[in-house]
Structure 1
């Protein structure tokens, strides 16, 4: 049977796409360049076997703890305890809401995240979401976020990480307004959208590792 040329090309392209997807699932930045590499996870990951995760080259884990002024990740207490039991470095992450005050969000975080001297610095993810359509003026966002950061740092005792999405940075230029370490995000290619150099890079949201169902966010610390 003679195969149509267009159909053959489609088959080749399909096979190439599958091959790239398989490679992407296992890719991470070089261990020689980035000595410390880890993940950030949420309740959507389901059951996590932290000893297996730690054995698969994960040096640290960030756990989503709270969202906005009243959201709480149902798995955070379990993940927090299990990561510690597995001997993993762990930190807590808050998901910012442009619809709620910084003080209310800080109270939510501080109420639900215990202070631990061995914990990594807390982080806040600042991104646009469908749950909140508000886009306050830049001065307002900076003031509210600064208030949040100061209140959380008073609780944790360490400077926070700002995990700023590219669309937010383009609109508000937060990395230049708040003097805190930046956590940038871009699959496979080092991000350059922040005003200041990033301290941590989410390099993939596709990687799969043992001990975790589904794809996870893979992060590296700047050398």
Structure 2
């Protein structure tokens, strides 16, 4: 009996140590739970912000990447410090580029749209604009209602569609998607974040992009954040070439 208890305790300790080791390796970007196959997802890209600091775009783009989403704006007044440089240099490196806006629960959709449009040029061949809907600050503990979010989000999406001539992409985490997007917004493509599993949306929808890790480690940037977000397009290379074309 004592031997069995001892063996069980040792096994539990080994499993705990292995779990802690995996967690540490994941935090350092050495162990990635998700590794989507190149055969299934041939089109790959990154999303970046000022947290990656100065980016050597030719170096970054040369690592089997096809696209980059660049943070542009947040709310009604914040502009990412690296946007202007990233926007120009990413495209010059041969990548297809799109800009994303971090959605604010606290300001009107009209003012957020005006800020994004003022910041992001309209250029043929670029990926559609992205609206990033996720919790921030205390919003997960004190979430706005779906109706409150819709009252801000819908005017933002409509205005961006009118200006850029293509419907925006909606980026979201699993929790935010379930609360605010599931069962609605069918006319907008989804970019979903899941860094541990292959995503499965609660309403059964397919998604156009998948952010499969926020712990990527690639040469080509020097910033406060040593990791970078890695993504795949959920389609073929030919479908990606046609993706987001203005009607």
Which TM-score applies when normalising by structure 2? 0.79
Q: How far apart, in 1, do the equivalents of 2:177 and 2:16 lie? A: 40
Q: Which residue of 2 aligns with 1:50?
A: 57
For structure 1, list consecutive stretches of 5 or more residues without a partner in the other structure.
none
Alignment pair present for 1:218 and 2:236 = no
Alignment length (residue pairs)? 217
Q: Which residue of 2 aligns with 1:159?
A: 167
Q: RMSD of the TM alignment (CA)?
A: 2.6
Q: How far apart, in 2, do the equivalents of 1:169 and 1:91 lie? A: 21
Q: Provide the secondary structure at the position in 2 that maps to 1:57.
A: coil
Q: Which residue of 2 aligns with 1:140?
A: 148
Alpha carbons 2:33, 2:195 under 8 Å: kept: no
Alpha carbons 1:142, 1:178 under 8 Å: kept: no
Which TM-score applies when normalising by structure 1? 0.87
Q: How far apart, in 2, do the equivalents of 1:178 and 1:26 lie? A: 30
Q: How far apart, in 1, do the equivalents of 2:25 and 2:132 lie? A: 32
Give, in angstroms, the shift of residue 131 of structure 1: 7.0
- Pair 1:197–1:15, CA change in 2 (3 A): closer
**Equivalent residues in 2 for 1:126-205, closer than 5 Å:** 126-130=133-137, 135-172=143-180, 174-179=181-186, 180-195=188-203, 196-205=205-214
Deviation digits for residues 23-68 of structure 1, max 9, x if unmatched? 4269641111001110100011001011011111111000000000
Deviation digits for residues 123-147 of structure 1, max 9, x if unmatched? 0110111176874332232232111
Deviation digits for residues 70-97 of structure 1, max 9, x if unmatched? 1100110000111121111100000000
For structure 2, list consecutive stretches of 5 or more residues without a partner in the other structure.
1-9, 236-247
Q: How far apart, in 1, do the equivalents of 2:105 and 2:29 lie? A: 37
Deviation digits for residues 183-203 of structure 1, max 9, x if unmatched? 111114111134221111100
- Aligned with 1:78 (options 85, 90, 95): 85
Bigger drift between 82-91 and 106-115 goes to 82-91
- Pair 1:122–1:175, CA change in 2 (3 A): farther
- Pair 1:175–1:162, CA change in 2 (3 A): farther
Alpha carbons 1:142, 1:177 under 8 Å: kept: no
Alpha carbons 1:62, 1:92 under 8 Å: kept: yes
Q: Which residue of 2 aligns with 1:36?
A: 43
